[in-house]
Amino acid sequence: MERLKVLVVDDEERMRKLISDFLKIKDFDVIEAGDGDEAVDKFFSDKDIALIILDVMMPKMNGWDVLKTIREHSKVPVIMLTARSEEQDELKGFEYGADEYISKPFSPKILVARVEAILRRSGMNQEDVVNIGGIEVDKSAHSVKIDGAEVELSFKEYELLVYFIENKGIALSREKILNNVWNYDYFGDARTIDTHVKKLRAKMGSKGDYIKTVWGMGYKFEA
């Protein structure tokens, strides 16, 4: 089986080596970049990168600009890595299209577990197509159509919709959604879920009404 390739971007060589060593233990191929310009060059010159671990504060081109540049051309999963933990920075990362947001210091083992979880979900090999209430989810193509028209969803929005559909009719707490869609015990503000749901509903148009708010708890999908 071909090894998956991860691009690790951080201006601290020690940090890059730490992350790379743990990824290589899990049999990942690792490409390193020491600044934003190098990261963009390496991403566009290598078409096989499966995931990016991206530091925010870097010389030449910061992580936000790298993320925006990549998102103009690709939906590759991106984990933002930063020493800043303010909520506004976290929401900014999600707004620009980040899939995860991890604050330093962190456990390298937990980081690798999140990498594996994201790639496992994004690389689903099911060929089945789910149809429900005018929504068509093609898991093999990782695509969504609503009333026959393709809808552009971010990686996390897609995962969130699939999780809702797979648990249709079940009231889901924010914590349960975070633990299953993000696949780890989330220590930030659970309102992150509300931000993603709001964006998902907007992209779904009238079908966004299928995602019901369960007051004081979370959400429930009913088509």
Cis peptide before 105 (omega within 30 of 0): yes
pLDDT for 1 equals 45
Per-residue confidence band for 79, with pLDDT thresholds at 50, 70 and 90: very high
pLDDT for 146 equals 95
Residue with the larger pLDDT of the pair 72 and 125: 72
Distance CA 141, CA 119 (A): 14
| Cβ within 8 Å of residue 13, ≥6 positions away | 34
Per-residue confidence band for 184, with pLDDT thresholds at 50, 70 and 90: low
pLDDT for 188 equals 54
Average pLDDT over residues 146-164: 91
Look at the alpha carbons of 169, 194, 209, 146 in this order and tell me if their dihedral is positive or negative: negative
Per-residue confidence band for 191, with pLDDT thresholds at 50, 70 and 90: confident
Amino acid code (one letter) for 213:
T
Average pLDDT over residues 160-187: 81
Average pLDDT over residues 155-171: 89
Distance CA 32, CA 6 (A): 9
